[in-house]
Chains A and B, each alone.
Chain A
Amino acid sequence: MSVDFAIQVRDLTFAYPDGASALAGVSFEIAAGEKVGLIGPNGAGKTSLFLCLAGVLKPRATLLRVGGLDPCDPAQRRRLPAQVGIVFQNSDDQIFNATVFDDVAFGPLNLELPPDEVRKRVAEALQRVGLTGMEERVPFHLSGGEKRRVALAGVLAMRPSILLLDEPSMYLDPRGRRELIQLLHTLGGTRLIASHDLELILQTCTRVLLLDRGRLMTDGPAHTVLADARLMEAHGLEVPHSLRGNNIA
């Protein structure tokens, strides 16, 4: 049986202009519809990997396909935003328009969709994240949680088949975090979540990739990897609270 891959990465290597290596020989595949967690300590290369997948950074790789497109090819990279949505760590970096409506409409407008379709998608995306009625609000009047939801709505309005979420629970209070988890459960498509919030990974992902110092250390089922106390400790992480007492020593 052939598997439809959403993401294929083989021998991906990336170094920043100052020579610092961010990713070294990373290889993995993610099937369409799979929910995968990306974990690792600070500086492991999680954000750099996301930026490579989204076509922002230009890595070297023997194979790199995201939604069937090559992010390193300029012509294919221009088609990537319709396929891949990325929610950045800091929402202020992502909400660059003066009103919530304008920000959520930014992506669909760049896809050159008809105005009615753009309005429909904005309304739908805001409704999904629970921000209906806030269209005219200005970003600097929003709370951290609201900004996070606006950022997510801006990506959802583009209806990408692949969603990359970088630290989605950052700046969220417990209620906001719970709502985010519920929202993630309602989203279809392929999803890759980078987070230090391992409980969130456990609740929303079936598979986990562990990165450390730019290398892929482990790739396995979420419950097995996250419950491995020795592995977690070796890479500066901790077994999620809900899995303690159930450790694989």
Chain B
Amino acid sequence: MTLAFTVPPSISSFLSRLDPRWKLAALVLFAAVVATLHMLRTAAAALAAALLLALLARLPPRWFLQRLGAAALFFLLFALPLPWLLDSDGPNWIWGPIHLSWHGVESALLLMAKAITLVTLFLTAQATAPLETTLKAAHSLRIPDLLVQLGLLTYRYVFVFADELRRLRIALRVRGYRNRVRRHSYRTAGHLAGTLLVRGYERAERVGWAMRCRGFDGQFRSLTAFATRPVDVVVFLGIVASAAALAVWDWKF
């Protein structure tokens, strides 16, 4: 199994005991503010706050760092070229044909800080409540039915899809196929992707039939009941106040 298909651990923590609706609303607002930050020091403060939340959520270090590392590697692809690509009137370093700008370095660090903060917030939300509970909380926060159902179905079938891919890969290997840089491999990968798409389409059609046979009319219904306690509101206000302070700091200075 790859990292993406591993079920997050279930850990009891201060954050996991909060009402998922208040927690989700607070994290989404915080994430929205983080996405708009444009100063490195505010982004660094947001990252520190997110890491504090991860600490409060008691995320298993190995589980957390593995996922954070994978995401950071992906974002590095976009951040690394920035010092060479962005130009400005500020300090620049020139060594022969190599031209490096401080503005580019700052932009790269800002991008990485914001990306790691958002991934940390996402992992905190993921590990402090089962995804289906978070999606039900989203539904009770008036997120459209369609988005909630898409999320739930994707979560349910991503494992079936992963299983199908695993079986196809085994079927290839037992017939002597090995991934190499050659035309045959590219063609085989294309066929594999095509097979998965067709099977996915057919499965979606059958799932749709099964849903209609059990009276589905497009409306999301759930029996999950949420209860608000004073601590939920206090934590929500605390996180939102921190986000507001970050936004003001970023905007004023």
Spell out A's residues near B (CB within 8 Å).
51, 54-56, 78, 81-82, 84-86, 88, 90, 92-99, 102, 105-107, 109-111, 115, 118-119, 138-140, 154-155, 158
**B132 near A98 (CB under 8 angstroms)?**
yes
Name the one of B159, B203, B223 contacting A105, with C-beta atoms under 8 angstroms: B223
Min Cβ gap A86→B in Å is 5
The reply to whether the CB of B221 lies closer than 8 angstroms to some CB of chain A is: yes
Q: Is A115 touching B217 in the complex (CB atoms < 8 A)?
A: no
- Given A56-B209, A81-B215, A106-B216, 11 other A-B residues pairs in contact with their CB atoms under 8 A: A78-B217, A88-B206, A90-B206, A93-B203, A93-B206, A93-B207, A96-B211, A102-B222, A109-B222, A110-B221, A115-B223
B131 touches A98 (CB 8 A): yes
Partner of B155, one of A92, A98, A105: A98
Q: Does B200 contact A (CB under 8 A)?
A: no
Q: Which residues of A contact B203 (CB under 8 A)?
A: 92-93
**Contact flag A96-B207 (CB < 8 Å), given A82-B215, A107-B214:** yes
Residues of B within 8 A of A118 (CB): 223
Would you list 24 pairs from A and B whose C-beta atoms are within 8 A, ordered by A residue?
A82-B215, A86-B210, A90-B206, A93-B207, A93-B209, A95-B156, A96-B153, A96-B156, A96-B207, A96-B210, A97-B156, A98-B132, A98-B152, A99-B132, A102-B132, A102-B222, A105-B223, A109-B223, A110-B215, A110-B216, A110-B217, A110-B221, A111-B215, A140-B163
Q: Which B residues are in CB contact (< 8 Å) with A105?
A: 223
Report how far A153 CA is from B215 CA in the complex, Å.
15
Q: How large is the interface on B (under 10, 10 to 19, 20 to 34, 35 or more residues)?
A: 20 to 34
- Taking the closest CB of chain B, its distance from the CB of A172, in whole angstroms, is 19
Look across to chain A and name the residue whose beta carbon is closest to the beta carbon of B206: A93
Residues of B within 8 Å of A95, CB to CB, are 156
B-side binding surface: helix, strand, loop or mixed?
Answer: helix
| B173 CB to nearest chain A CB (Å) | 23
**Of all chain A residues, which has the CB nearest B210?**
A94
Closest to B208 in A: A56
A155 to B214, CA, bound (A): 7
Q: Shortest Cβ distance from A14 into chain B, in angstroms? A: 14
Contact with A along B168-197 (1 / 0, CB 8 A): 000000000000000000000000000000
- Contact partners of A155 in chain B: CB under 8 A: 214
Tell whether, in the assembled complex, residue B223 and residue A54 are in contact, meaning their CB atoms are under 8 Å apart.
no
Which residues does chain A contribute within 8 Å of B213, judged by CB atoms?
54-56, 81, 84-86
Which residues does chain A contribute within 8 Å of B152, judged by CB atoms? 97-98
CA distance A90 to B204 in the complex (A): 13
CA distance A140 to B158 in the complex (A): 10
Residues of B near A51 (CB, < 8 A) are 209
A98 to B8 CA separation, bound complex (whole angstroms): 14
Interface string of B1-24 (1 = CB under 8 A from A): 000000100000000000000000
A126 to chain B, nearest CB (A): 14
Contact between chains at B215 and A138 (CB < 8 Å) = no
Contact pattern, B 120-137, Cβ under 8 Å of A = 1, otherwise 0: 000000000011100000
A89: nearest chain-B partner, CB-CB: B206
* Minimal Cβ-Cβ distance residue in A for B132: A98
Contacts of A55 in B (CB 8 A): 212-213
Complex CA gap A140/B221 in Å reads 22
Closest 6 CB pairs of A and B: A110-B215, A98-B132, A81-B215, A109-B221, A107-B214, A140-B159
CA distance A140 to B7 in the complex (A): 10
Per the bound structure, the CA–CA distance linking A118 and B225 in Å amounts to 14
B211-249 CB contact bits vs A (8 Å, 1 = yes)?
111111100011100000000000000000000000000
